[in-house]
Amino acid sequence: MRHFFLSLIVIYLILEVILYVKFYKPDVTSSLVEEIYEKSVQIRDSRYNKTKEFLNRARIKGASNSYVEPVYLNDKDHLVINKHTVKLENATILVLCRNWELKDILSSMRSLEDRFNKDYHYPWTFLNDVPFDEDFKRWTTEMASGKTEYGLIPKEDWDTPDFIDQQKYNLSIEKAIKDELLYGFSRSYRNMCHFNSGFFFRQELVMKYDYYFRVEPGVQYFCDFQMDPFRLMRENKKKYSFVVSLYEYENTIPTLWETVESFMKEYPQHIHPNNSIDFITDKAPLGKYGLEFGDSPYNLCHFWSNFEIGDLNFFRSEQYLDYFEYLSKTGGFYYERWGDAPVHSLGATLLLDRDEIFHFEDIGYNHVPFFSYPEGKQVMKYKRCVAPPNTDNINVQLGSCLPRWWRSGSGKKFLKEYYHEDEYLLFKEHYNI
């Protein structure tokens, strides 16, 4: 019985200690106890800070182009993104679209808003060669987190120029159809390429902006941006940026390069001394596999212009305007089928400092038929990327020009020299190249 009562007393004392520790701060009287208590507080705070740091790390933009400090959402110690606390750049999201493309542009808007613009509320600017209908305006306004504006393109900026020989133009259309040229049958496609090459940046609604983000119907973005690309462009003095780089269809631009060469001879003062002409003329094999090129010095590499973020003042510059007018007057946009992508690309690589062109390597993107997303698993995880299953990343395929940009442009420095340099030098010597 005595042992039983002793046990009860011990249990009572233990309960008293537990309740005391749980509901009361210890009465530290001795220096030793005080020191132990302070150390325990430090350990607790240290563990809390490490946990907090680990959780925040998932929001950091984990790629090599981390020029802009990451933004920690919902963190009292960092900036919380909303339209009242963030100073926006003078920029717009720019869309060239038709009324019947409403469903596809809403899909693009939803994707970009979710991955980027819901935190910034940049304005959307819509352009069309015919008036937008009320359904289009209502639905796109509801989808946008920023304000929306709708512009009607003047006929003189969109329609086929008066100097185009209509008989020659008709014959070129017939030949393009016979040769099964991509979009060769389409007159409106030629108007679009001509407009996107020389007029989009001069539209009344666009003139007030310094930067644009081009968005097309039916595209998707697979990763959180976790930064403001407009701010990145301004702070780092970038004037043109891209995600995908490909080879152009040679039969759409048979005389484009010779026209550009003539421009270079006539306007040598416009060619930047630190240009990236090597990127568009490099034909050396990449790795152990090579591609067959035509006789032109141009290797057909270009930046895919359906995704581009750029400085509008570059396109408004004397250099670019002279370049566009020179190309336009030859009629190549209509007698052939010059695309705005190679026109933008050749202009940027020749007129800009190579360090003013930027590759967004960590933006997940899809425009039919290609997918582009970061290769690193850590980057994919940190940026919450969700790439569709059974899709190939175009950036690591043979048809990508990105490795040439890494080697010859302002890209990966470790690819500046040929990877199999010994093999390549022997190859050149053997064939007297």
Which tens digits make up the pLDDT trace of 323-344?
999 999 999 999 999 999 999 9
Structure token pair of residue 304: 């895919």
When pLDDT is cut at 50, 70 and 90, the band that residue 34 belongs to is low
CB atoms within 10 A of CB 317: 16
Q: Over 50: is that where the pLDDT of 240 sits?
A: yes
Strands lying side by side in the sheet with 148-152: 148-152, 124-128, 91-96, 211-215, 308-311, 240-242, 357-359
Q: Over 60: is that where the pLDDT of 271 sits?
A: yes
Question: Which of 126, 145, 150 minimizes the C-alpha distance to 86?
Answer: 145
pLDDT at 408: 82
When pLDDT is cut at 50, 70 and 90, the band that residue 378 belongs to is confident
Structure token pair of residue 398: 């043979």
When pLDDT is cut at 50, 70 and 90, the band that residue 76 belongs to is very low
When pLDDT is cut at 50, 70 and 90, the band that residue 55 belongs to is very low
Structure token pair of residue 27: 């009465």
C-alpha to C-alpha distance for 155 and 369, rounded to whole angstroms? 31
Question: What is the rounded average pLDDT of the residues 89-95?
Answer: 99
pLDDT at 6: 56
Which tens digits make up the pLDDT trace of 400-411?
999 999 988 766
Whether 308 sits among the annotated catalytic residues: the reply is yes
Distances (CA, A) of 303 to 134, 205, 210, 246: 35, 25, 21, 7
Question: Which of 191, 196, 182, 183 minimizes the C-alpha distance to 164?
Answer: 191
C-alpha to C-alpha distance for 110 and 104, rounded to whole angstroms? 10
Q: Over 60: is that where the pLDDT of 26 sits?
A: no
Q: Over 50: is that where the pLDDT of 305 sits?
A: yes
Find the DSSP H helices in 148-204: 155-158, 166-178, 187-198
DSSP characters over 406-421: HHHSSS-GGGSS-TTH
Question: What is the rounded average pLDDT of the residues 104-125?
Answer: 97
Question: Which of 420, 123, 143 minimizes the C-alpha distance to 287?
Answer: 420
Can you list the domains of the chain with their CATH numbers? 91-415 (3.90.550.10)
pLDDT at 304: 97
**pTM (predicted TM-score):** 0.77
C-alpha to C-alpha distance for 29 and 36, rounded to whole angstroms? 12
Q: Is 175 left (phi over 0), alpha (psi -120 to 50) or beta?
A: alpha
Return mean pLDDT, the chain: 84
Percent of the chain with pLDDT over 90: 65
The one catalytic residue in 89, 113, 308, 361 is: 308
